Chain A
Amino acid sequence: MNALLILIPLSLVLLLAAIWAFAWAVKRGQFDDLDTPAIDILQGEPEPAPRRPSAVEDGDAG
């Protein structure tokens, strides 16, 4: 039974951690938009991402 005396407070700590993580995610706006990310993941950024699209015309060979 002594194991419980450690495990239960531990579970409470984990509970607090989970609540903190959830609150952090909500505050950071992780749940603001649940539609666009679904598309985002299908379409990764191409490897040499052109940082400035206007400069592409000059050097589009590379």
Chain B
Amino acid sequence: MNATLAAMSGGERAGTVDTTCFHCGEPLPAAPAMRMFDGASRRFCCDGCAAAAQWIGDADLDAYYRLRERPGARIDEDDGALALWDREEVQAEHARTLDDGGREITLLTDGMRCAACAWLIDRALSREEGVTDISANAVTGRIRISWDPARTPLSRPLRRLQSLGYRPFLAAGVQQERERRRERNRWLLRIGIAALGSMQAMMFAEALYLDTARQMSLPMRDFLRWIAFLVSTPVVFYAGWPFIAGAARELRHRAPGMDTLIAGSTLLAWAGSVAETVRGGPQVWYDAAVMFVFLLLVARLLEQRVRATASAQVDALARARPAFASRETADGQREAVAVGALSAGDIVRVAPGEPVPADALLLDADASFAEALLTGEATPVPKHPGDQVFAGSLCGAQAARLQLTAVGTQTRLSQLAALIEQAQAHRPPLALAADRIARGFVLALALATIAVYVAWRLHDPSRAFEVALALLVVCCPCALSLAVPAALAAANGALARIGVLPLRADALARLARIDTVVFDKTGTLSLPGGVLRVESLDGLGDAEALRIAAALERDSAHPLAAAFHAAPAADTTIATGVVEHRGAGIEGVVDGRRWRIGLAGFAAATRHDDGAIWLGDGDIASARFTFDESARTDARPTLDALRRLGIASELASGDGDVAVTRFAGLVGIDAAHARMSPEGKLAHVRDLQAQGRVVAMVGDGINDGPVLAGADVSFALGDGNALAARAADLVLASPTLLRIAQAVVLARRTRAVIRQNLAWALLYNLLALPAAALGMVSPWQAALGMALSSLLVTANALRLARVPRA
């Protein structure tokens, strides 16, 4: 009595045109929509996708399908909510009125996955009537639309946007958006002026230096000096303002650091040069001052760019906030209002599948909410009237009525977003250590400079200032303070390109040390779903058993549940009172009878726990489900690559012995542990750590919270949900496991580069200091030496930007 059915889900196998939607890549339903596209008949999962493809084809934008790197997003039905975007109170808060009477708004969208999407949005919306300007940025997920309110309401271009599969979300306040752009532009302008100005100043300085035989007439010499003064002054004071401001801050806090030294030596070089220019002294040092400012600005910009890319990820959290809510008025009517207009104490209604607008208390009846964004746990949590419900969680099967308790920045979601932002702004310990060394160095250097100046004053007063300046410049620990951030910036950029997002500042440093990787089998090394076998026991019938199981598993986010989702008739039977017991199974009522599905001990106590999934009433088994799990195609290459790196791989799974052993053999893994609870996995990781191993954990971020937190470094698979799983150090946004090995290679190379850089910077400073103190280095040689040293360090770091092959 065996029935087999292939229950595939997920995109891993879904590559061919025949089984998946042409537009969004999701599995096709029994009766797919068919359309002619580009001379061939294509299948679509729904009318929305078909209409989008049709429109794209008709608009001659079909190049999108060739350019894109990933399938598009599934297209939702238009729910009419877009009309709310036209409301005055929404636009007052988020849009900006332009000089010509038009308006501009910045939106976030969730489906923009590669540059091809940005291209498509750009082309599609610019053809809409009344849209005057549009720019879409795939890196930050932002779209900026300018439109003419007299010619079109905002909802019209947005409807087009939604019909292509990109749902609009409100970005953070317009004020913040503009501030972000203005800040970036100011930095670009500073760098530009520093680059152009220092190029010119160095040209004039060169002319002065080349006059070695002192043949230049004095008026010519002074003319060149005044020109150099003219060019270098804006560089020192406008482009170099961040350093001067930083130095002022450091001095106010009585903690002189790098900025003090940088600003101090540039200002000293500049002021000394001005004095020499005025009194016609023998030497000026404008070139040293401008070179300093320019090179250091470049280094800072590099670091900032990485931060900006990282903060774009935080916007995923902003997207969880709905734009509108349905509020209950005093007379029991409902009205749609912008979320910004809500206040604590309001009563709102949330429909199934919709996000909760603000932190609230549940009223009236039981309901369930998925709090994936807050906890990383995708399983809906059942709540009773009076329980707390959090903004950003998704309402489960029943609609809910809520009384708001906290809105806006007071919600847990906003606080979480702030936390992640904070983590990304946080400097890793290694960088902090380098800063500390540099700070000590600054003080020592200041004292040494004074001592050298006094000594030269006694020995040869005419050279005293020059030697002191040379010492200050040549020994500036710039290379030292660049050594770490430049390497981390380059490495983080390379990581982001391969789809690995570091959430902790020191994740990379810890990743370099690992020697053991523990995989959680279900959903990490194996394909979700797999082939499901049904074996009914007490005359229930295969189809009936599957129907009940599918109903129970319908709302579960466990990777194995996906296999049941694909079962026929999964949508027609509804289970009530469903409760999920973590690590055991699911309980619920189907057709008036109470069922349990899960491990033998939970669902059918009379049966031996053999790794299968049992359906029963708690004691007597009614059916048994087994999975023939297939490994991801890249599982074996990944394990081989890790082995080549000298890293041992282990498998820790919650499944039964037989299945785990079979699977371990399939992928060729060294050590496999079966039947492990989340607590067991954590204990195992702790054991390994006690043996002196440095352990990396790879999980799906759903059931593995504690283990991910307990391991030395952790990877979470997936994108949106795992991003907020605070436990994970790195998120694997790309579906390829090979990225893990690549990330390890990159981390190790980063460690090596940081060590080389630190060694070089220290060696350079140790050699340069005595040479300068003895008066063997002139200020221009000092500036050049310092610049070359910094450039060497940066160039060495940039080697990391190349993506390694694992």
Contacts and interface: CB of A to CB of B under 8 A. Distances in A.
A1 B220 contact: yes
B67 A33 contact: no
Contacts of A50: 58-60, 127
A12 interface: yes
B139 interface: yes
18 contacts: A8-B224, A15-B231, A19-B197, A22-B192, A26-B185, A26-B188, A29-B135, A33-B137, A33-B139, A35-B115, A35-B118, A35-B137, A35-B139, A36-B119, A42-B67, A53-B55, A53-B58, A60-B58
B318 interface: no
B230 A19 contact: no
A6 interface: no
B63 A36 contact: no
Interface size class of A (residues with CB under 8 A): 20 to 34
Nearest to B54: A57
Interface in B166-203: 181, 185, 188-189, 192-193, 196-197, 200, 203
A36 B136 contact: yes
B116 interface: yes
Interface residues of B, number: 37
A38 interface: yes
Interface of B: 55, 58-60, 63, 67, 115-116, 118-119, 122, 124, 127, 129, 135-139, 181, 185, 188-189, 192-193, 196-197, 200, 203-204, 217, 220, 223-224, 227, 230-231
Interface of B is mostly: helix
Contacts of A39: 67, 115-116, 118-119
B159 to A, nearest CB: 12
A30 to B, nearest CB: 10
A43 B193 contact: no
A18 to B, nearest CB: 5
A23 interface: yes
A62 interface: no
Nearest to A21: B192
B122 A36 contact: yes
Interface in A11-62: 11-12, 15, 18-19, 22-23, 26-27, 29, 31-33, 35-36, 38-40, 42-43, 46, 49-53, 56-57, 60
A60 to B, nearest CB: 7
B61 to A, nearest CB: 8
Interface of A: 1, 4-5, 8, 11-12, 15, 18-19, 22-23, 26-27, 29, 31-33, 35-36, 38-40, 42-43, 46, 49-53, 56-57, 60
Contacts of B67: 39, 42-43
B673 to A, nearest CB: 44
Given A19-B196, A22-B196, A43-B67, A36 B58 contact: no
A51 B189 contact: no
A37 to B, nearest CB: 9
Contacts of A23: 189, 192
Most buried by B among A12, A36, A43: A36
B189 A26 contact: yes
Contacts of A52: 127, 129
Given A22-B196, A26-B192, A12 B137 contact: no
Given A27-B185, A50-B60, A57-B58, A8 B227 contact: yes
Given A15-B196, A31-B185, 4 more contacts: A4-B220, A26-B189, A39-B118, A50-B127
A19 B227 contact: no
B193 to A, nearest CB: 6
Most buried by A among B122, B197, B230: B122
Query: Which are the 8 A-B pairs with shortest beta-carbon distances?
Result: A53-B59, A22-B192, A36-B118, A33-B137, A56-B58, A43-B63, A39-B115, A26-B188
B742 to A, nearest CB: 21
Contacts of A5: 223
B196 A36 contact: no
A10 B55 CA distance: 55
A15 B200 contact: yes
Contacts of B135: 29, 32-33
Contacts of B223: 5, 8
Nearest to B122: A36
Most buried by B among A26, A33, A46, A50: A33
Given A26-B185, A50-B59, A43 B119 contact: yes
Contacts of A27: 185
B103 to A, nearest CB: 17
Contacts of A11: 200, 203
Contact of A31 (B188, B193, B197, B230): B188
B181 A15 contact: no
A19 B192 contact: yes
A47 B671 CA distance: 62
Nearest to B203: A11
A62 to B, nearest CB: 13
A46 B60 contact: yes
Contacts of B220: 1, 4
B200 A36 contact: no
Contacts of B124: 53
A21 B63 CA distance: 34
B499 to A, nearest CB: 15
A12 B138 CA distance: 39
A1 B217 CA distance: 10
